[in-house]
Amino acid sequence: MLSISIVCVGRLKESYLKSASAEYQKRLGAFCRLNIKEVEPVSLPENPSPAQVTAALEKEGESIWAAVPAGAKTVALCIEGKMLTSEKLGNFISTQMSQGFSRLVFIIGSSHGLADSVKNRADFSLSLSKMTFPHQLARIMLLEQLYRAFMIENSGKYHK
């Protein structure tokens, strides 16, 4: 069975987001072993300088890579990544499995995004949309799209 990890900076705070996450984690259990690893965001002052933000992102990047299992295929979520339809995401996951990858890791940054070093080191960059979303909501959107992708690949009735 495929192992999917989501490495994300920060924790879900609102109960409705926690509930949505729990629901999709439960649903995904039929298709993969899912693990969500939350790494601590680096504290920044109220109005950080660009240099402070860059330094914080690099430090978060170190924590992110420490949480990525060896040999995993990595996917960084970032606005400049490639946009895929739900069907193509399902095909992407199936292709990774057929190429022998048993671990797939999706990486979600903090509210400031991801360090360039993380984006450059990732095997693939994925964009959920041209729009900007809060990083906590991006986690729920990713979970939903993973579930939808598995349903598509398994001819389930969820996808319309």
The pLDDT tens digits for 88-139 are: 999 999 999 888 888 999 999 999 999 999 999 999 999 999 988 888 999 9
Pick the CATH number of 3-153 from 3.40.50.12780, 3.40.1280.10, 3.30.565.40, 1.10.150.20: 3.40.1280.10
pLDDT at 83 over 60: yes
Q: In what order do the strands lie in the sheet with 124-127?
A: 33-39, 3-9, 103-108, 73-83, 124-127
Residues 76-86, mean pLDDT to the nearest whole number:
95
pLDDT at 156 over 80: no
Span 11-28, pLDDT tens digits: 999 999 999 999 999 999
CB 40 within 8 A of CB 11: no
Cα within 13 Å of Cα(63), Cβ side = 20
pTM: 0.94
Task: Identify the band that residue 159 occupies on the pLDDT scale cut at 50, 70 and 90.
Answer: low
Distance CA 108, CA 113 (A): 8
Residues 66-91, mean pLDDT to the nearest whole number:
95
